[in-house]
Structure 1
Amino acid sequence: MSRALIGAVVLAAALLVASSTLFTVHQTQQVLITQFGEPIRVIREPGLHYKLPFIQSVIAFDRRLLDYDAPGEEVILGDQRRLIVDSFTRYRITNPLEFYQTVGATEAGIRARLNSIVQSSLRRVLGNEPLLSVLSTDRTRIMGTIRNQVNEEARRFGIEVTDVRIRRADLPEENTQAILSRMQSERERVAREARAEGAEVAVRVRAGADRERTVLLAEGQASADILRGQGEQEAIRIFADAFQRDPAFFQFWRSMQAYRDAFGEGETRLLLSPDSEFFRYFRGTSQIGQPGAVAPAPPAAPAAAPAPARTSD
């Protein structure tokens, strides 16, 4: 065998031993060294490290914050109401040795343990709280209590639980329909009360408006009657003053009015003699407007003669 071949074999063996001896720890990881399955030491510092080749193994664990989404579970609250709670948990591996010894080398082992712990804590804490507390600002206090309980129980697995949150809380389907029916009935009752109160207010306003209208009409009618009486009084006074100033002209004017009424449109027939007092102003007007002349009394309109009766042939 040539020296070159021997050198190549030695170099390959050296590289194989070096690759089995040296390893790198990432800054997001922490490493547990095991020898024949038994844990030897924990390495948390990032960088280049070594181990015994072929007999020691490296198991890496994530040191970042990890999430676990728990499936929805039905929980009975303190007021005996049922609620389907969907939660999630955030945790961090703080002790790789304890984690390896209790749940194994992978994260799958801790998920079943966390699910049991979280569900038990949810049932225990929410079983003492009413629905209004879960849906109000007390939810922060409730979740803090659940987180502390879960963290206390999960420490034995080498993890630290930093947060437990309820992602969604729904009522069961049958409860949802019943609550929706009650809400609808309540809204309808409130609507009926609002309509009844509105109708009462409308009747009261309408009655007040009718009463005010009646009062205004009565006051207006009274004012109109007073003004009409005052106007008629003033007209009579003016009429009397005018009659006293020129009685002859007044008598003439009254006669003209009587002529207008008597000879107006219509089928009325008058039977009068030519020398009737009714036609005195047609015979002469020498006394009208003379000083000191006294006009005769105004002629009264003669009664209408009845129309001749028709005789049948």
Structure 2
Amino acid sequence: MASLKRIYTMTGLALLIVILGIVGISTWYTVDESDQAVILTFGKVEQTVAEPGLHFKLPWPIQSVEKLSKETFSLQFGYKEEGGKISEYPNETKMITGDENIVLADLVVQWKITDPPKYLFNASDPEEILYNTTSAALRSIIGSTKIDDALTSGKAEIEADVRELLSQLMEKYDVGISVLAVKLQDVELPNDDVRSAFTAVTDARETMNTKINEASKYENKRMNEAEGEKAAILSAAEGDKTKRIETARGDVAVFDKLYAEYTSNKEITRSRLILETLEQVLPNAEIYIMNDDGNTMKYLPLRALDSKAAATKEQTEEETKEQKSTKEGGAE
């Protein structure tokens, strides 16, 4: 009897030690900086802990802890990279564009867990939901995009549209996942023949754009030259206009002065104007002063008198020079 009582006592002590050990171990937990924890009370979410460090809770099985990462995850759609080796899945990435062409499109989705309780309990496999939703969103956007845009300049717009649609769908499914970024890896044609044909079309389009740009550049150059010539002609015309106006004003001023002199002495002014006009019109003509009394015409040859006077003046100047030279020699 004593032996049985001793066995019960030892068993009870062992159970008590085990219970105390479990209580001691399960009443505290640590959260790393890259983790977040969910406290469950009898399987029901009690609170979410995101602060790193040592924390305490009620012992198991009253409360338990589920830890989830706060880091950013990458979902690879259409391919998988492991150990530096890339495996492609073309059947998953084959889709039809808006103009009924077939392309292969794969991408990477950056996501993170923003609501741990929903991630744990709103779906059995949230990552599978994210993968299927990514496929649906990408196919929807590619299906409304032309092949030229998908293969060339429209990739950025496709990425933005896929991200927006994927975020809306994940918010609707409410599984605690937030989409951070979407990046298209490759959008290509399904075989070499199609790629070659499309490359030829793309090269032709680039050549066309180059020619159009060159023509526009030449057009702009010629337009600038024409504008410059136009400005030069207008400037010359304005200068000529100003010159003519000023000349006319000068002529008017001269005429006004002549007219004032004419009104004060009409005969003298008339004679002077006639003589000046004759000098301008007939610069080499000889002028004679004539007196006709009806019988004999008498005239005064002014040109001959001018010549004789000029010769006399020249002879006088020479004699004066000689006399001056003689005086200077005698003085020496």
How do residues 44-83 of structure 1 correspond to structure 2 at under 5 angstroms? 44-55=50-61, 56-71=63-78, 72-83=92-103
Find the residue that maps to 1:103 and give its secondary structure. Answer: coil
Residue 93 (structure 1) aligns with = 113
Find the residue that maps to 1:115 and give its secondary structure. Answer: helix
Question: Greater relative contact order: 1 or 2 (C-alpha under 8 angstroms, separation 6 or more)?
Answer: 1
Q: 1:178 to 1:171 in 2, by over 3 A?
A: closer
Residue 166 (structure 1) aligns with = 184
Residue type of the alignment partner of 1:97: P
Q: Please give the alpha-carbon distance, in whole angstroms, between the structure 1 residues aligned to 2:139 and 2:59.
A: 50
Residue type of the alignment partner of 2:39: I
Find the residue that maps to 2:60 and give its secondary structure. Answer: coil
Q: 1:168 to 1:21 in 2, by over 3 A?
A: same
* Higher helix proportion (structure 1 or 2): 2
Residue 84 (structure 1) aligns with = 104
Q: TM-score, normalised by structure 2?
A: 0.48
How do residues 153-302 of structure 1 correspond to structure 2 at under 5 angstroms? 153-155=169-171, 156-173=174-191, 176-180=192-196
RMSD of equivalent CA atoms? 3.0
Q: 1:79 to 1:164 in 2, by over 3 A?
A: same
Q: Unpaired runs of 5+ in structure 1?
A: 188-313
Q: Please give the alpha-carbon distance, in whole angstroms, between the structure 2 residues aligned to 1:184 and 1:147.
A: 32
Q: Unpaired runs of 5+ in structure 2?
A: 1-5, 7-11, 79-91, 204-332
On the 8 A contact 2:151/2:188 being kept in 1, the answer is no
Q: Does 1:144 align with 2:160?
A: yes
Residue 268 (structure 1) aligns with = none
Q: Please give the alpha-carbon distance, in whole angstroms, between the structure 2 residues aligned to 1:128 and 1:80.
A: 10
Residue type of the alignment partner of 2:53: G
Q: Please give the alpha-carbon distance, in whole angstroms, between the structure 2 residues aligned to 1:45 and 1:182.
A: 55
How many angstroms does 1:15 deviate by? 4.3
Q: 1:128 to 1:52 in 2, by over 3 A?
A: same
Q: Please give the alpha-carbon distance, in whole angstroms, between the structure 2 residues aligned to 1:98 and 1:186.
A: 48
Residue type of the alignment partner of 2:41: Q
Larger Rg: 1
Q: Please give the alpha-carbon distance, in whole angstroms, between the structure 2 residues aligned to 1:47 and 1:186.
A: 58
How many angstroms does 1:143 deviate by? 0.4
* Higher strand proportion (structure 1 or 2): 2
Q: Does 1:42 align with 2:28?
A: no
Q: Please give the alpha-carbon distance, in whole angstroms, between the structure 2 residues aligned to 1:110 and 1:92.
A: 11
Equivalent pairs counted in the alignment come to 180
Deviation string, structure 1 residues 48-71 (Cα, Å, up to 9, x no partner): 112211222111111110111122
Find the residue that maps to 2:193 and give its secondary structure. Answer: helix
Q: Please give the alpha-carbon distance, in whole angstroms, between the structure 2 residues aligned to 1:154 and 1:184.
A: 40
Q: Please give the alpha-carbon distance, in whole angstroms, between the structure 2 residues aligned to 1:16 and 1:116.
A: 42
Which residue of the other structure, out of 118, 122, 143, is the alignment partner of 1:102?
122
Q: Please give the alpha-carbon distance, in whole angstroms, between the structure 1 residues aligned to 2:185 and 2:40.
A: 39
Q: Please give the alpha-carbon distance, in whole angstroms, between the structure 2 residues aligned to 1:16 and 1:41.
A: 22
Runs of 4+ aligned structure 1 residues displaced above 6 Å come to 6-12, 184-187
Find the residue that maps to 2:152 and give its secondary structure. Answer: coil
Residue type of the alignment partner of 2:101: R
Q: 1:67 to 1:179 in 2, by over 3 A?
A: closer
How many angstroms does 1:35 deviate by? 2.7
Which residue of the other structure, out of 130, 145, 156, is the alignment partner of 1:129?
145
On the 8 A contact 2:155/2:184 being kept in 1, the answer is no
How many angstroms does 1:81 deviate by? 0.9
Q: 1:133 to 1:182 in 2, by over 3 A?
A: closer
Find the residue that maps to 2:22 and give its secondary structure. Answer: helix
Q: 1:150 to 1:181 in 2, by over 3 A?
A: closer
Q: 1:142 to 1:11 in 2, by over 3 A?
A: same
Q: Does 1:19 align with 2:39?
A: no
